[in-house]
Structure 1
């Protein structure tokens, strides 16, 4: 699979549009594992909760008795009820770890400079590595629509209920919301990187997928105050963690109600901010991957599909044999990526057909320049012009599978896991920004920002 670098953004214009917006970030006394009591960082960290399956959950439980999975994604047990369940167990476990010293709060307000060195998915493992850079702090909660923070995705009620139950029981954030800001001169991370040169990383290890994880605790007030001041004029765009941000807003309202407060609270409370990893939009280590669709319901024949889309798309067929499949697949994917830079371009493969098909949207069917940012997205066009025709019912669309891996999508169609693979190019970060600032939300499964930050490197424990 090809990884997609962030496209060029007119960052100066981006900043000028929002000169009056105030976003507040705070250094905080993060809770971090004491390796002498809890074990090595590699053994107590975990991937984001929403990408962990049942097998992965059990493996993390078995790896180390202090793995953060016990807090972030506890296991249900027989006999669970309102007073004893995975949320209450997480709260009790957190209290126990804080009391024992397995988790310790840093003595001074701190900003955590974080880097992830990685090989992009599908790239040569021995080839060039990229490095995502950012910093972890707490962000003062603001409602959407105030101009301080922008979402780009819709959320689902069930996920927010789960996260709210956890926040109520633990009064903590275990994983950072990942957000973006613009800093074309790299002022903020340069200051943090310079400060990090004089201290050893607090966390440094190679994770399960071979990524190099590093975290520095920067508590020098001269540095942290510079970061706070530089961030004050910047709008924030959520990359990953919409459910957790909305949950933090709901938790804030709940705590204010419990305190009998209405309107503006006198003085900031711990629940008025949320844990956040902040990365510059311009960072060359930021990668956005596409999310391909794989249908699982019956589809028309290959020739019928070609006839269905001939009026809307310019079609190019890539037939292959068992001997030429690998080379033809590479050619097909490359054509989709290259031509997709200038026109909406999709790829299609059907179960039982030894050919790939590219679909380049004809000029007459492209949205006008005046169309909304959401309408012009490749993922919106795919849904409207392709998915809706191949899978016209809601039931068929709900049965669609998703993957960020080109080859996995094509293999699923070939081996019968699915009936057809629909490939698309990655959404650009500039498009995410345009949709968000227009007050729109992107279609389901539009973006996959990469690499995802781990859970458990530093936590925001609000009580005590």
Structure 2
């Protein structure tokens, strides 16, 4: 997106912070203590895998396990303090900005990590594009409040001037130096981190970003949490800033993927029978890759979904126009009303299947194979989605229109555990 700051010069304000990082000598490996973002971890399998990878894996902070929410949050705070006392984690000696790189195959992404000002009001500077779930925001807020730390950065995108200038010029220069951290995670992604210690280079980054606005690519619930926790404070302090990764998409375009739904209590046969004549339903041949190709072809012509969970794939498309008119809210832009996520929630979940949007009924899963596997294992229905166009996301965000929750998955996402922000030392 072309992202000069709003009128009046108000744009992004990014400041250095004392990053909290793992001490390599105190852990098995840096790769073994990292994790995907909390909402990407497939539970319980992925959670158990990460917990067993290293006793100090960051998942013990972002997804602590206990009998109650309060106990989980206390456990995370106590674990963080213990790791600090034991020297497993340690703060960097001075506040800095960080350049972060991810590389796998031909894919290269670089950005800058810092503490982003939440005040003055960021409306019109940081653009959300998805609704959030109140229970998740409340849980994330309780975790951050108790731990007094930002455990993983949001991913924000902005568009520079289309060339290696400003912040991007600094990032490219810094990336030619020796990093303070380098590791390759088990998914084959190589990660490198540099500390930007030169005040002139930091000022160059900050000056460029002060003219920009950004789109929340990943982390809407954490952003809402930042704002909630800031509002609780009676005066200025570290809660006025949030940990973010900013990527110039003019230089490093992001990828947009879909987030799938797992309907715990709805077998596929029941889901199909409830559709009646409301949609066209067709069996499509596997394997999964071929079925997703069929979904993409149908999605190019209109709303389309792929149901799985009974060992087969069922393409659901061409919704009845009269049903759409009755069930999709008419007070939103046409682009919003045509979204697959809008039709899924307004028509299928609310009207046809009558499924509450609650964790007991719906799980949101990023990995396609995991969604199918869990549906087949638990006699549930996986609703596989086709990614929405980034242009649609951007245009709706500019209009101030939010998409249904979990409509998109932008990436590559930053690995969790490479740098944290301790609000007690920042």
Q: Same fold (TM over 0.5)?
A: yes
What is residue 6 of structure 1 aligned with on the other side?
none
* CA displacement, residues 301-356 of structure 1 (integer Å, 9 cap, x when unaligned): 9698574336xxxx7x5665xxxx44xx6555324324534x32414447769674
Q: 1:108 aligns with which of 94, 103, 124?
A: 94
Residue 24 (structure 1) shift: 0.5
Q: 1:155 aligns with which of 128, 132, 146?
A: 132
> Does the alignment pair 1:21 with 2:10?
yes
What is residue 279 of structure 2 aligned with on the other side?
309
Give me the whole-angstrom Cα distance separating, in 1, the residues matched to 2:358 and 2:23: 49
Q: How does 1:140-179 map to 2 (within 5 A)?
A: 140-142=117-119, 146-179=123-156
Give me the whole-angstrom Cα distance separating, in 1, the residues matched to 2:66 and 2:101: 34
Residue 228 (structure 1) shift: 0.5
Give me the whole-angstrom Cα distance separating, in 1, the residues matched to 2:47 and 2:371: 25
Alignment check: 8 A CA contact 1:377 1:431 kept: no
What is residue 125 of structure 1 aligned with on the other side?
none
> Does the alignment pair 1:33 with 2:19?
no
Q: 2:59 aligns with which of 59, 66, 69?
A: 69
Residue 362 (structure 1) shift: 9.1
Give me the whole-angstrom Cα distance separating, in 2, the residues matched to 1:93 and 1:21: 39
Q: How does 1:63-462 map to 2 (within 5 A)?
A: 63-76=53-66, 85-118=71-104, 128-142=105-119, 146-186=123-163, 187=165, 188-197=167-176, 199-256=177-234, 261=235, 265=236, 269-282=237-250, 284=252, 286-295=254-263, 296-297=265-266, 305=275, 307-309=277-279, 317=282, 320=285, 325-326=286-287, 330-338=289-297, 340-341=299-300, 343-349=301-307, 356-357=314-315, 359-360=317-318, 371-388=333-350, 390-392=352-354, 394=356, 399-406=361-368, 415=376, 417-418=378-379, 421-462=382-423
CA 1:24/1:347 → structure 2, altered by over 3 Å: closer, same or farther?
same
Say which SS state the counterpart of residue 31 (structure 2) adopts. Answer: helix
Give me the whole-angstrom Cα distance separating, in 1, the residues matched to 2:255 and 2:293: 18
CA 1:331/1:25 → structure 2, altered by over 3 Å: closer, same or farther?
same
Give me the whole-angstrom Cα distance separating, in 2, the residues matched to 1:74 and 1:180: 29
Give me the whole-angstrom Cα distance separating, in 1, the residues matched to 2:25 and 2:358: 52
Residue 135 (structure 1) shift: 1.6
* CA displacement, residues 163-212 of structure 1 (integer Å, 9 cap, x when unaligned): 33333333221211221212241432342122220x21222112132221
Give me the whole-angstrom Cα distance separating, in 2, the residues matched to 1:97 and 1:397: 31
* CA displacement, residues 198-236 of structure 1 (integer Å, 9 cap, x when unaligned): x21222112132221221222122221111010001112
Q: Which ranges of structure 1 fall in alignment gaps of 5 or more residues? A: 1-10, 119-127
* CA displacement, residues 49-98 of structure 1 (integer Å, 9 cap, x when unaligned): 33443454455444444433343333327xx897xx44344434434444
Alignment check: 8 A CA contact 2:33 2:56 kept: yes
Q: Which ranges of structure 2 fall in alignment gaps of 5 or more residues? A: none
Give me the whole-angstrom Cα distance separating, in 2, the residues matched to 1:293 and 1:421: 6
Alignment check: 8 A CA contact 1:117 1:131 kept: yes
Say which SS state the counterpart of residue 233 (structure 1) adopts. Answer: coil
Give me the whole-angstrom Cα distance separating, in 2, the residues matched to 1:151 and 1:303: 37
Given the two structures, how large is their TM-score scaled by the length of structure 1? 0.75
Residue 457 (structure 1) shift: 0.8
Alignment check: 8 A CA contact 2:99 2:171 kept: yes
Residue 404 (structure 1) shift: 3.8
Higher gyration radius (CA): 1
Moved beyond 6 Å, runs of 4+: 300-304, 350-355, 361-368, 395-398
Please, what is the CA RMSD of the aligned residues?
A: 3.8
Aligned residues: 416
Say which SS state the counterpart of residue 101 (structure 2) adopts. Answer: strand
Say which SS state the counterpart of residue 374 (structure 1) adopts. Answer: helix
CA 1:37/1:157 → structure 2, altered by over 3 Å: closer, same or farther?
same
Alignment check: 8 A CA contact 1:293 1:400 kept: yes
